[in-house]
């Protein structure tokens, strides 16, 4: 399939990229001015024609999207919509997103920019939700774009317990997967419960695509060692689709040929093209629901430093809630740093499932660990926590199956269809509500 949209390798340096962005900006503004929301907000402003002018417009917030639920941001006749999505809102307020078929070409192409490639030879397990988010459909469309066989393995469906995921991965020769990183660890435990070795008994597997959850280098490396394949990270949202992906050098690049990016400092109210702050995005090829200066409120660090991959795209580090932590004694314990510490234990201890509770005077940590490694793992983790945070911890080694019950990895519940007529001995408790 040939696309008229910009493709990697078509621009040579920042000037060239800027020209490409500005060429599309006028179209983006025209599209935006067709939506009731932007018609109102743009009415009193001179329409921007350059990326620099854009900074004169107010930011669009997630709350704006909620306030304009469902179709206040719609810029095309409803007949042209291809899909409607919502992201999980707080306090039950839905955040709507919708796309035309043309918007979907841009969406699918952005997600499909994986350095390892996708082709008709691939069997691609999509293990993120299909309802009501974008993520499952996004990966699905990207796989289809390149002719891959897509296995729709929705992680919120009763029809797809872990045992079935691993059976499918094994028996179908799944080559690529898309999920949150935690799934990859649970699959490894599920595979072991089914008598398979994750690193050896899935020879077709080429890579694990992950996103949607913070991931430290230590955990990522652990997942990669467990499965013996690269872990390739992706960053995006239901409101925007894929915003960044990894190059062969392991750096995350923003798709700046498809969207304009700014970094907003909420303390000063200023924006910059790089540095640390909240990521603000203006998608350039989005007609159904244009967004001008949409503030994702994700903390990021953006850099225009060169990368040897030659993509000529800025890099982004998603800090997310990395800075958020709980006080324990005089220290602040963040999930990010604690995860690094837990996953720095030797692989041979087999510790992958854990949880912790930060209390004012002590950090309580529970790890799943086999009895033969328990004493060593507990002692090492206690020492590491003291080294890194300077706080006391109470580490408890739990039997495997305590945090992630064995049954969750092995059960294969029946998913039944509704039915009204039953035989004399049959359970008719779930006649119509078939959950
Ligand atoms: Zn690169």
Per-residue model confidence as pLDDT tens digits over 128-140: 999 999 999 999 9
Q: Which is nearest to 234 in space by CA: 223, 225, 242?
A: 242
Q: 208: which 2 tokens?
A: 């694990």
Q: What are phi and psi of 57, to 5 degrees?
A: -85, 150
CA dist 108 → 101, 113, 137, 164, 387 (Å): 11, 9, 9, 27, 45
Q: Distance, CA 234 to ligand 1 centroid (Å)?
A: 13
Q: How confident is the model at residue 414 (pLDDT cuts 50, 70, 90)?
A: confident
Q: Distance, CA 303 to ligand 1 centroid (Å)?
A: 11
Give this prediction's pTM: 0.96
Q: How many CA atoms lie within 13 A of 367 on its CB side?
A: 28
Q: Distance, CA 373 to ligand 1 centroid (Å)?
A: 40
pLDDT digits over 20-44, tens only? 999 999 999 999 999 999 999 888 7
Q: Please identify every residue whose CB atom is under 5 Å from ligand 1, which is an ion.
A: 247, 249, 251, 307, 309
pLDDT digits over 252-272, tens only? 999 999 999 999 999 999 999
Q: Distance, CA 186 to ligand 1 centroid (Å)?
A: 30
Residues 392 and 361: beta-carbon distance below 8 Å:
yes
Q: How many CB atoms lie within 10 A of CB 104?
A: 18
pLDDT digits over 52-105, tens only? 888 889 999 999 999 999 999 999 999 999 999 999 766 688 999 999 999 999
């Amino acid at each position: 399939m040939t696309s008229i949209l910009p493709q990697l390798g078509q621009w040579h340096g920042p000037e060239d990229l800027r020209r490409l962005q500005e060429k599309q900006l006028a179209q983006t503004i025209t599209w935006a001015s067709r939506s009731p929301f932007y018609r109102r907000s743009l009415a009193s402003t001179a329409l921007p024609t350059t990326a620099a002018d854009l900074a004169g417009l107010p930011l669009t917030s997630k709350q704006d999207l909620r306030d304009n639920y469902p179709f206040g941001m719609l810029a095309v006749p409803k007949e042209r919509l291809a899909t409607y999505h919502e992201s999980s809102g707080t306090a039950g307020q839905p955040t709507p997103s919708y796309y035309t078929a043309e918007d979907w070409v841009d969406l699918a192409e952005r997600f499909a920019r994986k350095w390892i490639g996708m082709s008709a030879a691939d069997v691609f397990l999509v293990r993120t939700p299909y309802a009501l988010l974008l993520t499952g459909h996004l990966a699905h469309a990207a796989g289809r774009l390149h002719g891959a066989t897509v296995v729709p393995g929705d992680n919120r469906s009763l029809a797809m317990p872990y045992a079935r995921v691993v059976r499918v991965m094994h028996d179908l020769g799944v080559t690529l997967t898309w999920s949150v990183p935690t799934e990859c660890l649970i699959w490894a435990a599920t595979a072991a419960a089914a008598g398979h070795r994750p690193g050896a008994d899935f020879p077709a597997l080429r890579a694990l695509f992950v996103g949607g959850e913070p991931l430290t280098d230590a955990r990522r490396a652990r997942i990669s060692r467990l499965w013996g394949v690269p872990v390739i990270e992706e960053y995006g949202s239901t409101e925007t689709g894929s915003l960044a992906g990894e190059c062969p050098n392991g750096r995350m690049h923003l798709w700046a040929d498809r969207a304009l990016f700014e970094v907003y400092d909420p303390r000063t109210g200023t924006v910059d093209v790089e540095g640390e702050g909240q990521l603000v995005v203006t998608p350039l090829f989005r007609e159904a629901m244009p967004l001008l200066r949409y503030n994702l409120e994700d903390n990021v660090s953006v850099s225009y430093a060169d990368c040897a991959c030659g993509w000529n795209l800025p890099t982004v580090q998603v800090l997310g809630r990395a800075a958020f932590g709980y006080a324990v004694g005089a220290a602040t314990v963040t999930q990010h740093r604690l995860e690094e510490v837990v996953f720095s234990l030797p692989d041979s201890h087999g510790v992958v499932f854990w949880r912790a509770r930060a209390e004012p005077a002590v950090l309580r940590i529970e790890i799943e660990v086999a009895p033969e490694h328990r004493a060593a793992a507990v002692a090492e983790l206690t020492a590491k926590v003291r080294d890194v945070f300077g706080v006391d911890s109470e580490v408890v080694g739990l039997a495997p199956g305590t945090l992630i019950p064995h049954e969750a990895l092995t059960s294969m519940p029946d998913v039944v269809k509704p039915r009204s007529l039953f035989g004399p001995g049959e359970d008719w408790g779930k006649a119509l509500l078939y959950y």
